[in-house]
Amino acid sequence: MKRHVELKNHQREIYFFQLRLILSLGFVVVMLLILLSRFFYLQVVRQGYFKTLSDNNRISIVPIVPNRGLIMDRNGIVLAQNYSGYTLEIAPSKVADLDSTIDALAQLIDIQPRDRKRFKKLLAETHTSDSLPIRSRLSDVEVARFAAQRYRFPGVEIKARLFREYPYSDKMSHLIGYIGRINDKDMEQLEADNMDANYRGSDYIGKIGVEQSYENDLHGTTGFEQVEVDAGGRGVRVLSRSAPKSGSSLILTLDAKLQEVAEQAFGSYRGALVAIDPSNGEVLAFVSKPGYDPNLFVDGIDTENWDALNNSPDVPLNNRALRGQYPPGSTIKPFMALAGLAYNKRQPGTTISDPGYFTLPGSSHHYRDWKAGGHGSVDLFKSIVISCDTYYYGLATDLGIDNMHTFLDQFGFGKKTGLDMDGEASGLLPSPEWKQRRYKQIWYPGDTVSAGIGQGYTLVTPMQLAYATAVLANDGVGYRPHMVKQVLRNAEHEAPSAPAAVAMDLKLPADNIALVKRAMVAVTQPGGTAAGASAGANYRFGGKTGTAQVIGMKQGEKYVASQISERNRDHAWFIAFAPADKPRIALAVLAENGGHGGSTAAPIARKVIDYYLLGKAPKPLQTVVESPEKEDD
């Protein structure tokens, strides 16, 4: 019996066991199916996604930075070039103690405190994990010395790089500008312009001048190498390569020799000069004195040099030619004369009697002529030659500010010339609307009187005045002023330079222009305000002197240069075109605190024209001689 019960139990037990075993089998099958469907999901459904991730893992894109284009003058003289050299670079993220590392490096390589300061500044400005240079232009000896000790400096490397160099240093600084390390602000701009991809790997970008305006041409196209990397980021092999395209070189319209002559002609004066070829708008010379050494900026300027430049009373960093705004003074008179003729307010033969001052009807206020007692009987021709103020006080009043504004606006006053360089100031051509907007005041008749001789509110840049002079010299046809003659897009295949673009054709009556130009030529002849500057010239040229007041004179007060501190003395202007009959050069010269246009600005112009027309090499630097000739204003 007992055995029977056990047997029964045994069978039941086996039955239950096998039931559970089958359940287990079912469980196993379900779980294996889950695994299978997971594999299907990963390897079929999402295969593309994971393939991409896997490729991203293993493929790293390494940018190859293109060589920056060169900048040359119109004759092929190199103004900005690249040279290869070695820099000592530190990757801050890989160096535990920066200061002690630099201390140790200083024992091998000459590292000055200013190098350290510059490095610290760079470190604060850039937020990349890249290495930053502490010293550039290493000597061969220094390179060798470091190479031998290299194992001691993880995270420090010597790199061969192309450096930008400006051989003319401060002589071309305001024109060429400079490149500098890309900072956070530059990066934001590049991102906004969708250009950041092309700058992967690039350290430098044009900051100012032509280097900035033509950045897109100069930079070139960054090449890429697809490199297979391992998890540690080390390159294993190159998968594909797209070569970089070097930046285009620029041929400027500038004549570097002419620029040098002009620079030298300024002597110790501060100021600006812009010379334009009136027949096509090419900028031949572009001077802003003083300049600065653009080479200082390339790898980040050190604090001492920066402070010296930034705090100098001469403001060398200010581009006076492009951004300096000054009252045009008497240089406005030829344009006013043209306005008088155009609006029929003055005839060539009409004369006025100049008592030495002008009064508005119903006012006793005397607007003084620069010459006490006046010039006597003055017609339009003479008014330019001797720069008669009284004539233009009356003319301005007769024209009215609106007509003046309309007419002068055509010559480009009060607006940017469209020069192919960023940062141009637009000057100021006042109008009643402007005054209402700016000062919430009405326009007084007296404002018109001052505007007639280029004082008061009117402001021009040397660039603008040179352009207006070029338009006048070219009989009212203006070409857009430009710095770059040709962009060499490809070394083998030179793109032809774009034809000069006509920016304006004022359609001025030929007689009017001829009369004014003749008068301007007379300015440089005996009896004219710039007679001294033209002495001995075997060609004829037209010109006009001008004076921009720095401080205002009260009624009855007399301007005596010797009694006024140097910085408050008047700025001297001279505009010119040469040769007189078929002008090839038009220019505007400003000598800050130079006093008289005829005595300081005109001789500078003369030297520039001499060189340009005659190829006359500049004489050894000579100080500008005070002219005994007549003064204007």
Partner 1 sequence: MINSLKRRFVAHLDPVLMYALGALMFVSLVLMYSASDGNWTRVLGQLANITVAFVALWIVANMPLHYLMRIAVPIYIIGMVLLLGVITPLGVNSHGATRWLNIGVATIQPSELMKIAVPLMMAWYFEKHEASLTLKNYFVATLLLVMPIALIVRQPDLGTALLIAASGFYVLFLAGLSWRIMIGLALTAAVSAPFLWSHMHDYQRLRIKMLFDPSQDALGKGYHTIQGMIAVGSGGILGKGYMNGTQTHLDFLPERTTDFIFAVYSEEFGLLGNLILLTLYGFVIARGFMITANASTYFTRLMAGSITLTFFTYTFVNMGMVSGILPVVGVPLPLISYGGTSMLTLYLGFGMLMSIHSHKKLVQS
Any idea which residues carry the catalytic annotation?
Answer: 330
34 is a contact residue toward partner 1 (CB under 8 A) = yes
Among the residue ranges 52-60, 201-209, 346-354, 558-566, the one whose residues contact partner 1 (CB under 8 A): 52-60
Q: Which stretch binds partner 1 (CB under 8 A): 53-61, 101-109, 483-491, 497-505?
A: 53-61
* Inter-axis angle of helices 510-523 and 462-473, nearest 10: 120
Cβ-based nearer residue to partner 1, 49 or 83: 49
β pairing state of 249-252 and 71-72 = parallel
Alpha carbons 633 and 386: distance in angstroms, whole number: 9
Query: What are the residues whose beta carbons fall under 8 Å from the beta carbon of 102, sequence distance 6 or more?
Result: 90, 111, 116, 119, 134
Rg of the chain on CA atoms, in Å: 36
Nearer to partner 1, 43 or 490 (CB): 43
Report the C-alpha gap between 543 and 603 in whole angstroms.
Answer: 11
Q: Does residue 32 belong to the site contacting partner 1 (CB under 8 A)?
A: yes
Footprint (CB under 8 A) of partner 1, residues 199-228: 228
CB of 128: closest distance to partner 1 in angstroms?
20
Q: Which stretch binds partner 1 (CB under 8 A): 51-59, 248-256, 415-423, 429-437?
A: 51-59
Tell me whether residue 51 or residue 582 sits nearer to partner 1 (CB atom).
Answer: 51
* Number of Cβ within a 10 Å radius of residue 523: 30
Where helices occur in 41-96 by DSSP H, the ranges are: 47-58
Among the listed residues 8, 11, 24, 490, the single contact to partner 1 using CB under 8 A: 24
Question: Quick one: 232 or 620, whose CB is closer to partner 1?
Answer: 232
Q: How far is the CB of 93 from partner 1 (least distance, A)?
A: 16
Binding to partner 1 by residue 148, rule CB under 8 A?
Answer: no
CB of 42 to partner 1, least distance (A): 4
Tell me: does residue 28 bind partner 1 (CB under 8 A). yes
| Shortest Å distance, C-beta 230 to partner 1 | 4
Amino acid letter for position 398: D
With CA atoms as reference, report the closest residue to 274 among 424, 407, 385, 457.
Answer: 424
Angle (CA) 162-165-166 rounded to 5° is 160
Helix (H, G, I), strand (E, B) or coil at 177: coil
Piece in contact with partner 1 (CB under 8 A), picked from 33-41, 270-278, 407-415, 585-593: 33-41
The rounded distance, in Å, linking the Cα atoms of 158 and 148 is: 12
Q: Give the phi and the psi of residue 304 in degrees, each rounded to 5.
A: -60, -50
The DSSP call for residue 289 is: E
Does 31 bind partner 1 (CB under 8 A)? Our answer is: yes
Q: Is the peptide bond before 290 cis (omega within 30 degrees of 0)?
A: yes
Nearer to partner 1, 225 or 293 (CB): 225
For position 197 contacting partner 1 by CB under 8 A, the verdict is no
Nearer to partner 1, 23 or 621 (CB): 23
Is 235 or 527 the residue whose CB approaches partner 1 more closely?
Answer: 235
Which of 12/582 has CB closer to partner 1?
A: 12
Which residues ranging from 227 to 266 are in contact with partner 1 (CB under 8 A)?
Answer: 228-232, 236
Q: Do residues 283 and 586 make contact, with C-beta atoms less than 8 angstroms apart?
A: no
**46 binds partner 1 per the rule CB under 8 A:** yes
Binders in 3-22 for partner 1, by CB under 8 A: 6, 9, 13, 16-18, 20-21
Q: Which is nearer to partner 1, 38 or 365 (CB)?
A: 38
d(CA 45, CA 42): 6
| Smallest separation, CB 31 to partner 1 (Å) | 5
Residue 474: both structure tokens together: 């070219």
Give the whole-angstrom CA distance, residue 158 versus residue 156: 7
Q: Judging by beta carbons within 10 Å of its beta carbon (0-12, 13-18, 19+), is residue 172 exposed, middle or buried?
A: buried
Q: Give the separation between CA 521 and CA 528, rounded to whole angstroms.
A: 9
Phi, psi of 287 (to 5 degrees): -115, 135
Of the CA atoms within 13 Å of residue 408, those in its CB half-sphere come to: 33
Per CB under 8 A, 1 contacts partner 1 = no
Contact flag: residue 42 with partner 1 (CB under 8 A): yes
CB of 12 to partner 1, least distance (A): 10
From the CB of residue 70, how many other CB atoms can be counted at a distance below 10 Å?
20
Q: Does 44 bind partner 1 (CB under 8 A)?
A: yes
| Among 43-51, 387-395, 410-418, 603-611, the segment contacting partner 1 (CB under 8 A) | 43-51
* Closer by beta carbon to partner 1, 15 or else 539: 15
- Binding test (CB under 8 A) with partner 1, winner from 8, 11, 39, 128: 39
For partner 1, what does the binding mask look like between residues 57 and 86, x meaning CB under 8 A? xx----------------------------
Q: At what angle do helices 333-342 and 462-473 cross, to 10 degrees?
A: 50
Q: How far is the CB of 232 from partner 1 (least distance, A)?
A: 7
The interaxial angle of helices 303-311 and 113-125, nearest 10 deg, is 80
Residue from 11, 54, 93, 347 touching partner 1 (CB under 8 A): that is 54
Please tell me whether residue 244 adopts helix, strand or coil conformation. Answer: coil
> Alpha helix (H) ranges present in 428-503?
432-439, 445-452, 462-473
Among 11, 49, 193, 582, indicate the residue that binds partner 1 (CB under 8 A). Answer: 49
Whole-number Å distance between alpha carbons of 81 and 374: 57
- 38 is a contact residue toward partner 1 (CB under 8 A): yes
Q: What residues make contact with partner 1 under the rule CB under 8 A?
A: 6, 9, 13, 16-18, 20-21, 24-25, 28, 31-32, 34-36, 38-40, 42-44, 46-47, 49-51, 53-55, 57-58, 228-232, 236
